[in-house]
Copies of this chain bind each other. A is one copy, B any other.
Amino acid sequence: MAVTAASSTDRIEKALESALHRTQGPGAPPRLLAAMRHAVFPGGARIRPQLCLAVAQACGDSDPTMADAAAAAIELLHCASLVHDDLPCFDDAELRRGKPSVHRAFGEPLAVLAGDGMIVLAFESVAAAGVSKPALLAPILLTVARAVGAPNGIVAGQAWESEPAISLAAYQQAKTGALFAAATVAGAQSAGGDGAAWRTLGERLGEAFQIADDILDAIGKTATAGKPVGRDAVLGRPNAVAELGLRGALDHFHELTAEAIASVPECPGQVPLRAHIAERTRKLLPVEVALHAA
């Protein structure tokens, strides 16, 4: 079975459209809906939902409706976290994906509410897909919820920035790793697979992605990243390049992606999934980064 990124892209955009369609109806406040659309479209690389669908496909994709809903939920939760992280009380970011952040475009109240609404919509979308497949629902919801809430989800990760002393491992694992792990676990669960076997893949990819993000922040250009760069240094946040140097960060990135690929469990689509992950991770860093480090 081939993992086809093109059709996955199509599935993800349709699943997100279908989720956002749920927010329309008589009595809906128009600017809230516009703010939510602004946060979701046009997307970034959609790397988490792509990963979710790639795993579902590798496991046989026996329930594409549920896989699509899980992928959309994970992307909605990711987008919600970006909207809230960009707020003035956190990063006060002007730009996101090359356009104004939600609070810059719609004001702070609607940025708070759009994020809230997207969190709710994520769970609602999975619940709607679960009406016809009730046995899949609770495990997938628990996977997704634990990746976002406390003690170890992205909300907890972000909250470490408000602690007097930060637990760096907990911070990075929760802030980035958790949702990547949910993508692989929920992808497998939506195809009736054993979610737990797929956790390592998501965790290693999440770590690798965090390092790539740190590298782009440290040496990247705003136009390439679609958001301001150099922010980690300005905000005093941990950054792998600051810790390990560029060469060290790149080496660690390659170690993590190799571990991720090696961890892919036995499944009908194991070989194409490994190739897909190798290809996607290569694209995380532009060619000039390797030259920069040489």
> What is the interface of chain A, defined by CB distance below 8 A to chain B?
22-33, 36, 80, 84, 87, 89-90, 106-110, 112-113, 115-117, 119-121, 123-124, 127-128, 130-131, 134-135, 137-139, 141-142, 145-146, 148-153, 155-156, 158-163, 167, 169-170, 173-174
Bound CA span A119–B81, Å: 13
Please give the count of copies of this chain that the complex contains.
2
Q: Knowing that A116-B119, A124-B146 are A-B contacts, what are 15 other residue pairs whose CB atoms are under 8 Å apart, sorted by A's residue number?
A: A25-B151, A25-B152, A26-B151, A28-B156, A30-B163, A31-B159, A90-B112, A109-B158, A113-B158, A117-B150, A127-B141, A128-B138, A134-B134, A137-B138, A141-B141
Do residues B32 and A155 form an inter-chain contact, with CB atoms below 8 A?
A: yes
Cβ contacts under 8 Å, A158 to chain B: 109, 113
Closest B residue to A132 by beta carbon equals B138
Bound CA span A161–B211, Å: 41
Do residues B149 and A120 form an inter-chain contact, with CB atoms below 8 A?
A: yes
Cβ contacts under 8 Å, A89 to chain B: 107-109, 112
Do residues A32 and B162 form an inter-chain contact, with CB atoms below 8 A?
A: yes
Cβ contacts under 8 Å, A80 to chain B: 116
Cβ contacts under 8 Å, A163 to chain B: 29-31
Report the minimum CB–CB distance from A132 to chain B (whole Å). Answer: 9
Do residues A170 and B130 form an inter-chain contact, with CB atoms below 8 A?
A: no
Cβ contacts under 8 Å, A160 to chain B: 29
Q: Which of B108, B123, B131, B142 contacts A145 (CB 8 A)?
A: B123
Do residues A149 and B117 form an inter-chain contact, with CB atoms below 8 A?
A: yes
